[in-house]
Structure 1
């Protein structure tokens, strides 16, 4: 992978730092590239949402996939799941500090994609803005249903 890795004092890339960076990028893109993960994180930007609100916010996701993705985001430490005992039982999801720390990078990546990648589908570019659960995610600039 070119263009990654730290530079030594004389400006030369070091092989060790390049390999670490490549592994880190592969890990990050492998996780964020999973369908729905980015949209779920974006939906939580304005604040906590319940399960049903998250499902409405991202569109046509199935219950089983939504539960799987939320569990993965929770295990990764990006989303916090809080259960309020009922009746009725209530489950709320919110971004952790680690999840919030990821948002500027996601916004920059979306802006880069809008500027540098061809528009070959429903995603028109732009940036990840605050998600409103009442708005179809494909109507928001830059939102893609997990391409």
Structure 2
């Protein structure tokens, strides 16, 4: 016997869920955003360190993603006046709360998506 799909009791519940998912993917759906967040899950990092860890991203795109993720409240940017001046990025509480979901997406991709061909 095939299990029945869950029934929505209120169309408003579905619309609210869709709106929340849309908001999440406005931020997370941009290329490299999830990877940057995942790399920061290992702890604070500077721009160059993130660029190396996120291999393939251009400096301008990485800069854009860091700005967007900072504006979204998922990462914090800290400037150490030095000398030398250094900038580091780290997850905020909201960003850390996202890590279990990103880890689950990563496991799903390993199991269900074909490997990229070179």
TM-score norm. by structure 1 comes to 0.70
Q: Hey, what does 2:23 align to over in structure 1? A: 27
Instruction: Check 1:20–1:59 CA distance in 2 against 1; reply closer, same or farther (3 A cut).
Output: same
Q: Hey, what does 2:56 align to over in structure 1? A: 60
Q: Hey, what does 2:116 align to over in structure 1? A: 121
Cα deviation code 1:43-102 (max 9, x no counterpart): 111211111111111012111111110000000000000001132110010000100000
User: 5 Å matches for 1:1-147?
Assistant: 12-115=8-111, 117-119=112-114, 121-122=116-117
Q: How much has 1:120 moved relative to structure 2? A: 5.3
Q: How much has 1:12 moved relative to structure 2? A: 4.4
Q: How much has 1:26 moved relative to structure 2? A: 1.7
Runs of 4+, deviation exceeding 6 Å: none
Bigger proportion of residues as helix = 2
Q: How much has 1:118 moved relative to structure 2? A: 3.7
**Separation in structure 1 between the aligned mates of residue 28 and residue 8 of structure 2, nearest angstrom:** 30
Cα deviation code 1:5-40 (max 9, x no counterpart): xxxxxx743111110101111221232111110110
CA RMSD of aligned residues (A): 1.9
